[in-house]
Amino acid sequence: MQLQTSTWVETEEYLKRNNGIVVPIGSTEQHGPTGLIGTDAICPEVIAKAAGDEADILVAPTFSVGCAQHHMAFKGSMTLRPSTMIATIVDWVTSLRRHGFTRIYFLNGHGGNIATIEAAFSEIYADASLSGGEDPLVCKLRNWWELGEVMAFCKKTYGAAHGSHATPSEVAVTYFAYPEKLSNQELSPKIAPNGRFTDAADYRRNFPDGRIGSNPSLATVADGETLVRMAKKALIKEFEGFAAS
């Protein structure tokens, strides 16, 4: 069940039986020569939609631009400042809270968002504490690759070639969603270098094709289907427990 394709009447009826909602949140940033720029938003969006279609779960619009300043040396990447993202998350949550949502589950697709999302939660809880009242609102953050057996599958299937950016698992999910984007482009080196970075120029200098430690040429549509199925199953179980808490 998608919020943007529901009416207000349908949303009101949903709230009578469930006060929880899933917010897919990701980023719009380069994912190497073969990865889609929207990968980090597409992955949680596809998984959340699959869960919403199977179970009685309302899914919010995807928060698709995150904290990705370090990717700005690659064409097409977009970013928010952490302060902007915090303010926007607070406004999204406050809007949903007004309507009666008290369990807001953020399904994240970008590691660079984690600190900022948690800071936004701190702002939200600080507002509640400083008001002197009692608020039943609870926010939860879950990275999609932490769901169920997803990471175990990644380690077994890709080993050291999984890496940390433009990974074969996230690229596989996008291939499942958009099979026409399947790429056979040769990558050199096969497995990208690992390392740290600071700003966009430093990132581009250390990782010239955008990948970090990964070989996304291992990604397949079949793997993407498996990953979505595994993540969907785990998401439904975890969300149902969270919404009922």
Pairing of strands 138-143, 103-108: parallel
At 124, phi and psi to the nearest 5?
-65, -45
SS3 string, 14-70, reads HHHHCCEEEEEECCCCCECCCECCCHHHHHHHHHHHHHHHHCCCCECCCECCCCCHH
The pLDDT tens digits of the residues spanning 72-103 come to 999 999 999 999 999 999 999 999 999 999 99
Gap between the Cα atoms of 150 and 209, Å rounded: 26
CATH superfamily of 3-244: Creatininase (3.40.50.10310)
**pTM, full prediction:** 0.97
What residues in the chain have per-residue pLDDT under 70?
A: none
The pLDDT tens digits of the residues spanning 27-48 come to 999 999 999 999 999 999 999 9
